[in-house]
Structure 1
Amino acid sequence: MPTKDIFHQVVKLALQKDGWTITDDPLSLQLEDDQVFIDLGAERLIAAQRDQEKIAVEIKSFLAPSNLSEFHTALGQFLNYRIVLREKQPERELYLAVNLETYNDFFSRRLPQLSIIEYQLKLIIFDPVQEEIITWTK
């Protein structure tokens, strides 16, 4: 079982405050010989459609000395997880959760912005102090 990110509980609580039910902690998926662990699986009822929206969330703290190095790792994980989800649970949308400070300081730079567009990254930006989701990007 992988180690939980420092912001794991914060993101979990923020999702719950936002109306999500945590279904998996972590979300474990097997694709032949490879098993992946995505930090959280969640769902919520869409009342108007009487259907459920399902997501998977990978949480990254970006606390290492090099945000760029952490971004390379996070991007690689994200792309691989998206492939496994497409095979195993195609109804789930994958999101990368990052704290507000990291988003403002690092994700506003050109390379991360171009990568978000190129790889169609979906982000959850959260405030770790308020334990709330600030915004979702799609």
Structure 2
Amino acid sequence: MPAKDMFHDSAKAALLKDGWTITHDPLSLRMGKKDFFVDLGAEKLLAAEKNNQKIAVEIKSFVSQSEIRDLENALGQYVLYQNILSVLEPDRILYLAVRESVFVDLFEETIGKLLLDRQVLKLLTFDPEMEVLKRWIN
């Protein structure tokens, strides 16, 4: 099993504070003979619809010397997991979780806006110190 991201616990705490139930830590997936591990699986009861919303969350730190390299790696992993989930758990929505500061520094720049405008990925941002969710970007 892969090592946890350095912000794993604060992202998990933020989801819990927002009313999510962590159902998997990590969410294990098997495709053929290969195993994959998305950081978290979570559910939340939507009272108005009387059903559960299911998400998978891949947490990324973006702390290397190259945020573009971090972005390339995160996008590759996101696309891989998104495709696997579409087959194994099509009702589960995948989110990439990043710190709010990463969102401001990277996703409010031209390259980040391009990815969000083209709906390449779904993001959730969090404040690791306060352990709260800041934004859901679909």
Match of 2:46 in 1: 46
Q: Could you give the per-residue CA deviations for residues 31-86 of structure 1, whole angstroms, max 9, x where no partner exists? A: 11221100000001111111000000000000000000000000000000000000
Match of 2:61 in 1: 61
Residue 119 of structure 1 and its aligned partner are, at CA, apart by 4.6
Match of 2:109 in 1: 109
Query: Which ranges of structure 1 fall in alignment gaps of 5 or more residues?
Result: none
- Once the two structures are aligned, what percentage of the paired residues are identical? 46
Q: Could you give the per-residue CA deviations for residues 79-111 of structure 1, whole angstroms, max 9, x where no partner exists? A: 000000001000000000000111111111111
Are 1:12 and 2:12 matched, yes or no?
yes
RMSD (Å) for aligned C-alpha atoms: 0.9
Structure 2 counterpart SS, 1:106: helix
The CA distance in 1 between the partners of 2:92 and 2:29, in whole Å, is: 12
Query: Which ranges of structure 2 fall in alignment gaps of 5 or more residues?
Result: none
Match of 1:99 in 2: 99
Q: Residue type of the partner of 1:47?
A: A
* Equivalent residue runs for 1:66-85 within 5 Å: 66-85=66-85
Structure 2 counterpart SS, 1:90: coil
Match of 1:132 in 2: 132
Structure 1's 119 and 36: CA in aligned 2 closer, same or farther, altered over 3 A? farther
Figure out how many residues of one structure are paired with residues of the other and give that number.
138
Q: Residue type of the partner of 1:70?
A: D
The CA distance in 1 between the partners of 2:25 and 2:49, in whole Å, is: 26
TM-score between both structures, scaled by the size of structure 1 = 0.97
The CA distance in 1 between the partners of 2:103 and 2:5, in whole Å, is: 17
TM-score between both structures, scaled by the size of structure 2 = 0.97
Match of 2:35 in 1: 35
Q: Residue type of the partner of 1:48?
A: A
